[in-house]
């Protein structure tokens, strides 16, 4: 994995993604994008793409993760705090994706339901 991610990922607009779209396969579309402190996570209709800009060489590290490697995911909501978090468990790593918009949280949950078999 690109590195251990301790901070939560927050949803970003597709235009803020830090990798060229030439890395996408034929007929691959970006469905959701999230950013942590220094890592972007892009969910496509085929896989998850993690990108990180290295500080030393300023090169882009890219790692592809198939949906089948996801062991489980948990939807957590806090109506009092108006916060919605999806906890995603990969082998040896748990990631947290957060949004404060309920419809975005439910659409992300629906995306995971559809692609995780």
Indicate the domain borders of the chain.
Answer: 9-115
pLDDT tens profile 33-43: 888 887 888 89
User: Concatenated DSSP letters for 18-48?
Assistant: SS-GGGSPTT--EEEEEE-SSEEEEEESS-E
**The pLDDT of residue 30 is above 80:** yes
Query: Measuring CA to CA, which residue among 97, 104, 100, 96 is closest to residue 83?
Result: 100
Measured in whole angstroms, how far is the alpha carbon of residue 74 from the centre of its chain? 14
Convert the pLDDT of each residue in 2-11 to its tens digit. Answer: 555 567 788 8
Strand order in the sheet with 83-90: 60-65, 48-53, 39-44, 30-35, 9-11, 93-99, 83-90, 72-78
pTM: 0.81
- The CATH number of 9-115 is 2.30.29.50
Q: Write the pLDDT tens digit of every residue in 42-95.
A: 899 999 998 887 777 778 888 888 999 999 888 888 767 778 888 888 888 888
Residue 47's contacts (CB-CB under 8 Å, 6 or more residues apart) are: 28, 64, 65, 66, 67
């Amino acid at each position: 994995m690109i590195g251990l991610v301790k901070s939560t990922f927050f949803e970003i607009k597709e235009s803020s993604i830090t990798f060229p779209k030439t890395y996408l396969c034929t007929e691959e579309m970006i469905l959701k994008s999230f950013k942590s402190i220094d890592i972007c996570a892009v969910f496509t209709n085929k896989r998850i793409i993690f990108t990180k800009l290295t500080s030393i060489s300023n090169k882009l590290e890219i790692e592809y993760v198939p949906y089948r490697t996801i062991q489980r995911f948990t939807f957590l909501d806090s109506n009092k705090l108006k916060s919605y978090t999806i906890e995603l468990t990969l082998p040896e790593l748990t990631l947290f994706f957060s949004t404060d918009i309920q419809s975005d949280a439910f659409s992300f949950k629906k995306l995971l339901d559809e692609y995780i078999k």
